[in-house]
Structure formats: structure tokens, C-alpha cells
Chains A and B, each alone.
Chain A
Amino acid sequence: MKQILKILVFIVPICIFAFFYTYLSKDNSYPGADYRVFEIPSFDLTELYKETELSNEDLSGNFLINVWASWCITCRVEHGFLEKLSSSGIRIIGLNYKDDRSDAIEWLKKYRDPYELVIHDFNGSLALDMGVTGAPETFLISNGKVIAHYRGEVNQMIWEDVFIKTIKDSEIIL
């Protein structure tokens, strides 16, 4: 009996150590990243410049949706990286979040427009349905489905560790 207890004294801490080591040493867990797959909720909004109606049917293929606003400071920080992505041929659709139409257009004129299309979501209704908590946030979309979601600024590191990784894992071409 004492023998068993003596062994347990060693084994139990080792098990606890191993458990926490494997659980806590996963380096792919960014706090803002979410990989749940869901369909883009149906929406009925307008385009930022032309004020034409937009719905799910206007979005096809594989692309990014970037939630931004002219009042959002971090979006300004992120903007340069989005332009880099856009000029390398990646399709980015903007979701203008709780913003004044004229402020948003002014902002894009000032800092250049990396978006293929901008959806104007004044009330944040589509954003709320997609689980947006603020700006900036970025979604990776493949054929109408969200396959990755990042809450916060996308930079080179996040792009590689969250987005490129998902793109490779799901074998899609952006």
C-alpha cells in the first residue's frame, strides 16, 4: 500500500504537469481568432458610394470582409496593410460599421480605397448578426461561408498565423 502511494506522489504531479503543458502550449490560439464556420447572414443594405441595394447574392467566391469605420483609430493603423493585400490581388469587401456615409467616403478619399465593394451598415445590423463586437474585424469568406474571423487589427503576423493558415488548411484560393 505504501508503495502505491509513493508511486502516486510522483505520477499525479507528472500527469497534472503533462495536462497543463499540452493544453497551454498550443501556440495557434490567438485570443481574437475564431474558426467557427457559419453562413453569411442574409442582409439587405446599400453600397456606400452608389447607394444601390446589396444582398447576399452580390457576394460570391472567396474574399475577405473587413469591418471598418471612419471613427475607428485602429482601422487607420490597419489600412496600410489592407492596401498591401489588395494590391497583391486579394479581394477585400468593406463593411462600413455605424458610420456616416459622407464621413466614410471622405475617409476613403483621404487614405485610398482598398475595397472591391463597400457595404454601408449604418445600424450595425449585419455586423451584429455576424458577431462583430467593434472595429476593425476581418472575416475570411469561402463561397458564402465564414471560415475564419479575427477581432482586432490584421497585420503581417496575424495574416500569416490566422488567415494564411486557414487558407492552406481549407485548400482554397483567394
Chain B
Amino acid sequence: MIKILLSFLFILSSNLYSEAYYEFEDVENEARFYNLIKEIRCPKCTSGSLASSNAPVSEDLKKAISQMIVDGKSDTEIKNYISDRFGKDTLYDTPVEPNTYVLWYSPFIFLTICLIVFFIRERAK
């Protein structure tokens, strides 16, 4: 009897203390959810995705994201919702915008300059 009781309590406890989980109607949405929380940085952490964080704000955001997926919002809408509130640095994927042009294009400009210098030198020889 005690054995049964103990095993019952054991099974029950693991459920009671497990993290909040997120339910979706189809597998596709579930996959979207787990992709999104990997692509969004936890606003409270120096680095680390929502998926890796259990900070209260991350738990709230995960809840908000799962709700938005159920409501039929697109990935872009969800990402905008979060970057509007917590800043663009919450997105690991840096958008191409006037203030990020230096970041995105400077390597190509630098490479072009190097190639030009290289060819001019070759020709001079």
C-alpha cells in the first residue's frame, strides 16, 4: 500500500513542479514557437535566448508568444511586438537599416578596397 502511495506521490510531484508548458493545436505552430524563442534574446540576460532563460520576464514573454501564435499572428508581427517593447537588440537577427549599414556593408567595402589595391599593385609590377 505504502509503495503504491509513494509511487503515486512521486508521479504527482514531477508534474506539480514542472515548468509551465505550452500547448498548441498542431505540430507546425509548436515548431514555430520553439524556433521563435531561440531567435529572441531574453531582455534580462546579458546573452541567452528566451528558450534558455527562466527569468520572470522571459516566462511572461513565452506566454505572450504562445498566445500570439494561437491568435494567428505571423513571426514578423511577434518579433516586432517584442523589439518595439524591449529594443532591437532582443533580436539575434540584426535588421538591415540605416543605422546598421556600417555593420552589414563595411566588410564588403573593405574587401573591395583590398581587391582594388591588390590589382593595382599586381599591375604595377
Binding site for B on A (CB under 8 A): 1, 5, 8, 34, 36, 38, 98, 124, 128-134
Contact = CB atoms under 8 A, between A and B. Distances in A.
Interface of A is mostly: loop
Given A124-B60, A128-B57, A5 B85 contact: no
Nearest to A124: B60
Nearest to A41: B85
B56 A124 contact: yes
Contacts of B55: 133-134
A134 B85 contact: no
Most chain B CB within 10 A, of A34, A129, A133, is at A133
27 contacts: A1-B120, A1-B121, A1-B124, A8-B117, A34-B87, A36-B87, A38-B84, A124-B56, A124-B60, A128-B57, A128-B60, A128-B64, A129-B85, A130-B85, A131-B43, A131-B85, A131-B86, A131-B87, A132-B57, A133-B43, A133-B44, A133-B55, A133-B57, A134-B44, A134-B55, A134-B56, A134-B57
Interface string B28-40: 0000000000000
Contacts, number: 33
A124 B55 CA distance: 13
Nearest to B82: A131
B66 to A, nearest CB: 14
B124 A128 contact: no
Most chain A CB within 10 A, of B55, B64, B85, B86, is at B85
B17 to A, nearest CB: 20
Nearest to B84: A38
Contacts of A124: 56, 60
Contacts of A134: 44, 55-57
B68 interface: no
B35 to A, nearest CB: 21
A38 B124 CA distance: 58
Given A1-B121, A8-B117, 6 more contacts: A1-B120, A1-B124, A124-B60, A128-B85, A132-B57, A133-B55
